[in-house]
């Protein structure tokens, strides 16, 4: 143990440490803020006297801002102490949502959404990197999975709650809900989250060069492709379920809840699998499970003639959610293990790849559903998923993740694990 390093908090054999719950809540707040606007589009459009299409751009601009800003901010803030960066970004995030809740016009709301996205682009990569740095090496995958679970829970719990608040009390209450979450994180962080120094000085040029290494670019390409195929299915879950089963809105809401619960379980299992098998093997197993489930959905669509049993489709979607969200922990763990001293920057770039994949999935899925309906989306998703497996398999064979290299000594310079 390095005597100059800050003491690493213990990771309990059961349950989760308070610092990790703090990071989970931060991811939950960011994920809720990102996705919840979709649930209150009519209210925002009516309240600010714009079209729903214009209101929808609040989501698009948030995602684009995040994708562009995340790797740039990660490089620019690399040497800042991690807790200071985390608290500062969370404070900006909270204030931006206060501004959004009080925004008198659409233009003002859009400006605050951009600020919130910039803050979120610093928060999430930092949360993943802090989790990896503070967890024991044998628990790193589980720690990353816990942070990822915050994003999953945002879809399963945060978005429904925020949508309900918007319908009951007006869309401004939705942003107030996000402010409450952010304030809770700000209150907990100084108490529970230990500080970590910034990364060692290696120069901006070298940090940017780390982002262009073939191993990193191939891994990020896998994230883009995996998100394109995987989240395409989630984006167009309504037409898929309708065309496969004929189910209505009430049944769809229940199925989405099932997928959300399965996804939350999947992030935990993905972390555990990463710790047990290593990131490379866990990555290939999870993407294969997701693609298999999508292929089964396509087969059901062709065989069922629009009248397939809803419980069957729900069960397959549960497997899809389980495997799809289990993909996140091994992917981020693998990127951290390949990153060397630029861990936060690489995770930020990988997260940008996720948002690019979401955008591509929405565009390609829209073309598929317009031409071939929900079944067309499942086929497109399965084909893209197969291409993802090939790409990731090539990446794993060519650039195996060095498991023994994991740890804060790579990403945080003098910080070291407790031994």
Domains and CATH numbers, the chain: 18-203 (1.20.1250.20), 212-405 (1.20.1250.20)
Query: Which residue has 């500062």 as its token pair?
Result: 88
Distance CA 306, CA 81 (A): 56
The CA radius of gyration of the chain, in Å to the nearest whole number, is 21
pTM: 0.74
In the 8-state DSSP scheme, what is residue 155? I
In the 8-state DSSP scheme, what is residue 89? H
> Helix, strand or coil for residue 158?
helix
pLDDT at 409: 39
Cα 347 versus chain centre, distance: 11
Question: Tokens in use for 93?
Answer: 């995030």
pLDDT in tens, 241-265: 888 988 876 787 788 778 888 988 9
Nearest to 173 by CA among 108, 101, 118: 101
Distance CA 354, CA 23 (A): 19
Question: Tokens in use for 206?
Answer: 């070298």
Distance CA 293, CA 298 (A): 9
pLDDT in tens, 274-301: 988 988 999 999 999 999 999 999 999 9
Distance CA 174, CA 400 (A): 44
Question: Tokens in use for 335?
Answer: 């990127």
Q: Are 94 and 113 in contact (CB under 8 A)?
A: no
In the 8-state DSSP scheme, what is residue 376? H
pLDDT in tens, 169-221: 999 999 999 999 999 999 999 888 887 765 555 555 665 666 678 888 888 89
Q: Are 101 and 179 in contact (CB under 8 A)?
A: yes
Q: Are 317 and 263 in contact (CB under 8 A)?
A: no
What's the helix, strand, coil split of the chain in %, to 5?
85, 0, 15
């Amino acid at each position: 143990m390095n005597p100059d390093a800050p003491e690493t908090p213990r990771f309990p054999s059961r349950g989760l440490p308070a610092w990790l719950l703090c990071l989970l809540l931060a991811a939950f707040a960011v994920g809720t803020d990102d996705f919840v606007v979709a649930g209150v589009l009519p209210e925002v459009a009516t309240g600010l006297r714009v079209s729903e299409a214009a209101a929808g751009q609040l989501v698009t601009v948030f995602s684009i801002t995040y994708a562009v800003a995340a790797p740039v901010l990660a490089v620019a803030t690399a040497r800042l102490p991690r807790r200071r960066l985390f608290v500062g970004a969370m404070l900006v995030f909270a204030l931006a949502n206060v501004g959004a809740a009080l925004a008198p016009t659409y233009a003002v709301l859009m400006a605050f959404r951009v600020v919130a996205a910039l803050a979120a682009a610093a928060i999430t990569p930092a949360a993943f990197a802090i989790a990896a740095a503070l967890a024991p090496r044998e628990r790193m995958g589980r720690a990353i999975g816990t942070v990822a679970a915050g994003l999953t829970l945002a879809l399963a719990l945060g978005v429904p709650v925020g949508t309900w608040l918007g319908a009951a009390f007006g869309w401004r209450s939705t942003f107030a809900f996000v402010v409450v979450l952010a304030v809770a994180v700000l209150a907990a962080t100084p108490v529970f989250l230990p500080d970590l120094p910034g990364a060692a000085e290696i120069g901006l040029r070298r940090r940017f060069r780390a982002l262009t290494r073939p191993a990193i670019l191939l891994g990020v390409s896998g994230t883009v492709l995996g998100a394109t195929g995987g989240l395409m299915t989630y984006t167009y879950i309504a037409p898929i379920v309708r065309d496969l089963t004929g189910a209505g809105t009430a049944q769809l809401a229940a199925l989405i809840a099932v997928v959300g619960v399965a996804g939350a379980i999947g992030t935990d299992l993905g972390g555990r699998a990463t710790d047990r098998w290593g990131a490379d093997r866990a990555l290939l197993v999870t993407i294969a499970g997701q693609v298999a489930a999508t292929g089964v959905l396509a087969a059901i669509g062709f065989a069922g003639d629009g009248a397939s049993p809803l419980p069957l489709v729900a069960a397959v979607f549960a497997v899809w959610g389980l495997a799809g969200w289990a993909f996140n922990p091994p992917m981020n763990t693998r990127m951290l293990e390949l990153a060397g001293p630029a861990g936060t920057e690489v995770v930020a770039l990988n997260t940008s790849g996720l948002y690019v994949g979401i955008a591509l999935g929405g565009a390609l899925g829209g073309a598929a559903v317009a031409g071939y309906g929900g079944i067309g989306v499942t086929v497109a998703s399965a084909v893209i998923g197969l291409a993802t497996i090939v790409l990731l398999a090539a990446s794993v064979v060519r650039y195996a993740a060095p498991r023994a290299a994991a740890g804060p000594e790579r990403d945080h310079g003098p910080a070291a694990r407790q031994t």
